[in-house]
Amino acid sequence: MASFIQRRGPNGKRVWQAHIRRRGYQAQVRTFDTKAEAQAWAATIESEIARGVFVSRAEAERTTLDEALQRYENEITPRKKSIAEGGFIRRWRAHPLARRTLASIRGKDIADYIRTRETAGVGGNTVRLELALLSHLFNTARSAWGMESLTNPIELIKGQRPKLPPGRTRRLVGDEETRLLDAARTYGGEIGPIITWAIETAMRRSEIAAMCWEHVDRKARVLLVPETKTGTPRRVPLSSKALAVVEVLPRRIDGRVWSMRADSISQAFERVCTAAGIEGLTFHDLRHEATSRLFEKGLNPMEVAAITGHKTLQMLKRYTHLRAEDLVGRLG
């Protein structure tokens, strides 16, 4: 049987402690404002022990979200390729929920957080990424940190998650490609060849910036991409245009193909677009353009995914924007 002891809390207020001791189980102790609450909790725990389904809540009830976030940043974040989540961790640690224990955070708390962020004008995709981090933290705590009793509050509010904006569908239209390359030649440097390379290979900006000569097999017309966003290396076949780009590039002493960093590529691309009078185009849109062109050349989804590195057909679909005008000729 559980025992109940009345004590004086840190603020001088009288509280009730429930103590449960059963052979073969760690002692369970929890404090409540009223004896009725303590008795209800004890009845639940004793019932679970009797039915053999009890899982200790002690760890989850004494670990705050802030402590869990700090542990997550130390143990989990370093294993990830993306370091962008550092900002999300800092934002969660600054939120009032960070002072709450993991076990006390409910779906309602997350729903309130979403409404607050949306009212503040925060984009749906940003909120989605913030929730994804928190969801992974709860799943990690439950599976690897000994908090099996935890319920992931993110999974309880699926119908209330923020509405995401439609995916980008921007492609090069009309004479934009010609204007873009002309402006790039006037701008000078590597941005012109990089634009052509991106359109021919569908590679990500970070992958292009990290290219090394040792991975370029000109005889086989293949480029090895050893480090990818998905963590899976892939080999990219090179078209005649792509091969022509690297054929004329000088060899660098450090072994890299390009001198430009990823952020420098985006900055130069933005300036080139401005000079060409092209609006609403980002460097990442070239990956959408290249992926769509691969389909227009007649490659099947598996062949295109092997080139682009997309893990699922759903993600591949998001990057594919076929124009009806370009498909007319194939209909007969």
Q: Supply the residues annotated as catalytic.
A: 204, 229, 284, 287, 310, 319
Burial of 70 (0-12, 13-18, 19+ CB in 10 A): middle
- Core vs surface per residue 193-208: b (16+ CB within 10 A) or e: bbbbbbbbbbbbbbbb
CB 41 within 8 A of CB 55: no
How many other C-beta atoms can be found within 10 angstroms of the C-beta atom of residue 57? 20
Cα 160 to Cα 115, 117, 135, 152, distances in angstroms? 9, 13, 15, 15
Residue 289 and residue 294: Cα distance in Å, rounded?
A: 9
- Core vs surface per residue 77-111: b (16+ CB within 10 A) or e: eeeeeeeebeebbeebbebebbeebbbebebeebb
Burial of 310 (0-12, 13-18, 19+ CB in 10 A): buried
Nearest in space to 155 (alpha carbons), one of 130, 138, 180: 138
How many other C-beta atoms can be found within 10 angstroms of the C-beta atom of residue 291? 23
Quick one: tokens of 180? 């873009």
Cα 331 to Cα 69, 296, 298, 300, distances in angstroms? 55, 13, 13, 17
